[in-house]
């Protein structure tokens, strides 16, 4: 039995609230159990130097965590004067995941930055950030279509992410903090609704794991992201109808 009483293949309760960041072109406050991430997409009509004049756009991401999002207060990275390796790793992952489903040529010379800020942390913040960031990105792109900047949505797919891990209960889906901090292994899967793999990051926290164990995690990830794709789609539909 998992500490939370969930079945091995059960996500935590998930909800996505749009519009929380009032000034952003698209925003999503995603909650996965006790984890809460505010994703805000900002549009700029210029691209970074290395892309100038290449007729394509760019999508990037930044990640942060409020100092008291966690059980005990952490350092404020702005006060310390640098972002940790973990922070940089996560924001690079979010950005790659979003770019994998964006048609940068169709976007044209536009940059979109998605800020993912963790307001409350209870495990799985990078996965929640990716799932929420896709919603924020999609809303920002829809705004660009609505206001005539773009003719069509420059999106090639729908992306979501979930963590899975090997715990005393075996392979389980969507680790919370308690499970994450004691798991023998955990893996983050960034998958698309179209069945593709965008990113896999599997890590043995203690001893190496086997290929069979890894495949079990992959199957759970398919189950979990299927549910996340449904929730993302429902969120988008609700906004669009409004």
Q: Is 64 annotated as contributing to ligand binding?
A: no
- What the block records as the tokens of 2 is 């998992």
CA distances from 198 to 15, 69, 213, 242 (A): 23, 28, 20, 31
- Contacts with a copy of itself: how many residues (CB under 8 A)? 70
Told to check if 229 binds a copy of itself by CB under 8 A, we report: no
We find the least distance from the C-beta atom of residue 183 to a copy of itself, in angstroms, to be 14
We find the least distance from the C-beta atom of residue 64 to a copy of itself, in angstroms, to be 6
Alpha carbon distance 40, 27 (integer Å) = 4
- What the block records as the tokens of 31 is 């909650």
Contact 116, 133 (CB under 8 A): yes
Residues 88-127 binding a copy of itself (CB under 8 A) are 88-89, 91-92, 96, 100-101, 113, 115, 117, 119-121
Q: Which of 10, 106, 153, 200 is in the footprint of a copy of itself by CB under 8 A?
A: 200
- Residue from 221, 215, 199, 6 nearest 98 by CA: 199
Told to check if 198 binds a copy of itself by CB under 8 A, we report: yes
Told to check if 197 binds a copy of itself by CB under 8 A, we report: yes
- What the block records as the tokens of 81 is 């004067």
Told to check if 178 binds a copy of itself by CB under 8 A, we report: no
Alpha carbon distance 140, 29 (integer Å) = 14
Told to check if 76 binds a copy of itself by CB under 8 A, we report: yes
Told to check if 5 binds a copy of itself by CB under 8 A, we report: no
How far does the chain reach from its first CA to its final CA, in angstroms?
A: 41
- Residue from 169, 177, 157, 173 nearest 218 by CA: 173
- Total residue length of the chain: 242
- What the block records as the tokens of 37 is 């991430």
Q: Which of 5, 23, 50, 152 is in the footprint of a copy of itself by CB under 8 A?
A: 23
Q: Which residues are annotated as a binding site?
A: 86, 124-126
Q: Which residues are annotated as a binding site for phosphate?
A: 86, 124-126
Question: For binding to a copy of itself (CB under 8 A), which residues are involved?
Answer: 20-24, 27, 34, 38, 40, 42, 44, 62, 64, 66-73, 76-89, 91-92, 96, 100-101, 113, 115, 117, 119-121, 156-157, 187, 191-192, 194-204, 206-211, 214, 218
């Amino acid at each position: 039995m998992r500490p939370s009483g969930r079945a091995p293949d059960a996500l935590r309760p998930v909800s996505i609230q749009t519009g929380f960041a009032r000034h952003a072109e698209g925003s999503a406050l995603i909650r996965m159990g006790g984890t809460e991430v505010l994703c805000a997409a900002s549009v700029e009509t210029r691209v970074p130097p290395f892309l100038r004049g290449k007729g394509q756009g760019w999508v990037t991401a930044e990640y942060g965590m409020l100092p008291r999002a966690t059980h005990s207060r952490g350092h404020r990275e702005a006060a310390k004067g640098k972002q940790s390796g973990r922070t940089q790793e996560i924001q690079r992952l979010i950005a790659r995941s979003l770019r994998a489903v964006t048609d940068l040529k169709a976007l044209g010379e536009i940059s979109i930055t998605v800020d993912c800020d963790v307001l409350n942390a209870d495990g799985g913040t990078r996965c929640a950030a990716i799932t929420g960031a896709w919603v924020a990105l999609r809303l920002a792109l829809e705004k660009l279509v609505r206001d005539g900047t773009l003719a069509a949505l420059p999106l090639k797919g729908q992306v979501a992410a979930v963590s899975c891990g090997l715990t005393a209960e075996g392979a389980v889906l969507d680790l919370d903090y308690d499970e994450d901090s004691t798991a023998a292994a955990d893996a983050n899967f960034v998958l698309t609704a179209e069945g593709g793999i965008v990113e896999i990051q599997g890590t043995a926290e203690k001893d190496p794991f086997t290929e069979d164990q890894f495949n079990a995690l992959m199957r759970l990830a398919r189950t979990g992201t299927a549910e996340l794709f449904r929730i993302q789609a429902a969120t988008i539909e609700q906004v669009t109808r409004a």
